[in-house]
Amino acid sequence: MRIAVLASGRGTNFEAIAKGVKEGKIEAELAVLIVDRKGIGAIERAERLGVNWVFVDPYSFPSREAYDLKVVSILKHLKVELVCLAGYRKLLSEPFVDAFPNRILNIHPALLPSFPGLKPHWQAITYGVKISGATVHLVDKGVDSGPIVIQCAVPVSPDDTPESLSLKLLSWEHRIYPQAVKWFVDGRVEVKGRRVFVKGADYSTLPVVPALEDF
């Protein structure tokens, strides 16, 4: 399976997926990294890992849909079958989502459906939750509203800040995201409406459900 990653920032989750491919844990080809900003960490990581990257300037297009259609055309040209958003700061338009039905993954640093959208760590701490987490989900036409593939949970301490909570979750993100990608590549994911099932997975353990197998 050929996969692609879209990123807008540091690219740490991109690197986690790329390393999974490079180490042979994910039996796929990472076809391309597409970025919408120059001078970001994701580009540096791609060059270090030997992954082809493409910059598509969003300001060169008359509309968001036109920009997305250009990205889709690149992905289709490269015969990409699975798209992974990794810190990608743009909401996908309907034409993009329609081009890859149930084939776009995203990671969000909260236990969805709680705290979607921007500043999830700040939202969680402000609300006063005692447990937070991260979610890998399929992308639909809403904001962080697609069917959930895998989640992890971490405790929230009274002295946590958005920054400390982010750091606490990051190492888990780097494990659950490549795991979800591997399940898709291995053909073990079945989507039934809002419910996602991973064939043969262990749903009985915490802090990650389904349980990690390879990362």
Catalytic-role residue among 77, 108, 137, 174: 108
- Contacts of residue 157, defined as CB under 8 A and 6 or more positions apart, other chains included, come to 164
Q: Which amino acid is it at 205?
A: T
Q: What are phi and psi of 181, to 5 degrees?
A: -60, -45
Please confirm, yes or no, whether 137 is among the known catalytic residues: no
For residue 9 the two structure tokens come to 């920032």
Strand partners, 82: 3
- Give 3-state DSSP helix, strand, coil % of the chain, rounded to 5: 35, 25, 40
DSSP three-state, residue 166: helix
Active site residues: 108
